[in-house]
Amino acid sequence: MAKINIYHLYPAHLNLYGDRGNILALCRRADWHGIDFEVVPVEPGGEVDFARCDLLYMGGGQDSDQKMVADDLKTRQSDMSRAVEAGMTIFAVCGSYQLLGQYYTTSNGEKIGGLEIVDLYTEAGPKRLIGNAVIKCSLWNPPRTLVGFENHAGKTYLRTGLKPLGEVQIGHGNNGNDKTEGAVYKNVIGTYLHGSLLPKNPWLTDYLLNKALCYRNQAFQPAQLDDSLEQQAHDSAIRLAGSRRHKRLSSRA
Ligand code: GLN
């Protein structure tokens, strides 16, 4: 039976807007697809066995939480970057997405050093970027839609050559200016989308499971699942995102 080991970094610190739901979605769908799994929660000082870890998950966090884990994260930098180059999957949301890059400068002007695994940097802007967001994601051909909720002060900029996760259709994305959202480097995916994201975008959950299995040369044999409930959640989040935008536009008129 295929098996994946999921390491969950800092669940006590990095868990905003239901991000733990991403772990639940990964486990539930792994189960439905007949994949055995183990989830190992790791707090600062705990061990990540990179020889076993197939998928590393990190949720979002407030500035204070990011500061609390940043030093611990730094101690894992070389192991993590070696594993990433070998093909390990990382899925990082918001605060931890920022920490994958070079640095995050908070609104107080404090600079939190990042892992420098993904070629990006983040600087807090004068207003928070908040709301439901819809992006067109080219991990699939034809592209698929991802929908989630964002709330961040940080404005993230991807350096040349780094691919975004998607193109913003509704919302702010990485920085509110260039229509990019998230980043993809090898099997690392960073995104600003909370929600939680995976339950209402099941194709991304399966994408991550597939990458984690391939890393250890295991085949993903997807079961035929009835995703109608997930699809309904996805569609209603899109409607919500669209109606907020509509209201904003009509209140300006
Ligand atoms: N503290 C970061 C910011 O405000 C990340 C917030 C989050 O994870 N939602 O940009």
Active site residue 27: no
How far away, in angstroms, is 95 Cα from ligand 1 center? Answer: 5
pTM recorded for the entire structure: 0.95
Establish whether 152 is a catalytic residue: no
Residues paired with 8 in a beta bridge: 41, 57
pLDDT classification of 192: cutoffs 50, 70, 90: very high
Q: Is 107 in the pocket of ligand 1 (CB under 6 A)?
A: no
For the stretch 167-202, what's the b/e string if a residue is b when 16 or more beta carbons lie within 10 angstroms of its beta carbon? ebbbbbbbbeeebbbbbbbebbbbbbbbbbbbbbbb
Which of 8, 13, 94, 152 is catalytic? The answer is 94
Q: Give the three-class secondary structure for 74.
A: helix
Q: Is the pLDDT of residue 8 over 70?
A: yes
CB 204, CB 146: distance < 8 Å: yes
> Percentage of residues in the chain with pLDDT exceeding 90?
93
Q: What's the pLDDT tens digit per position in 176-185?
A: 999 999 999 9
Domain boundaries, the chain: 3-252
Chain Cα centroid distance, residue 100: 11
Ligand 1 centroid from CA 92, angstroms: 12
To the question of domain 3-252 being in CATH 3.40.50.880, the answer is yes
Distance CA 55, CA 91 (A): 8
> Looking at residue 253, what is its pLDDT?
42
Q: Is 61 in the pocket of ligand 1 (CB under 6 A)?
A: yes
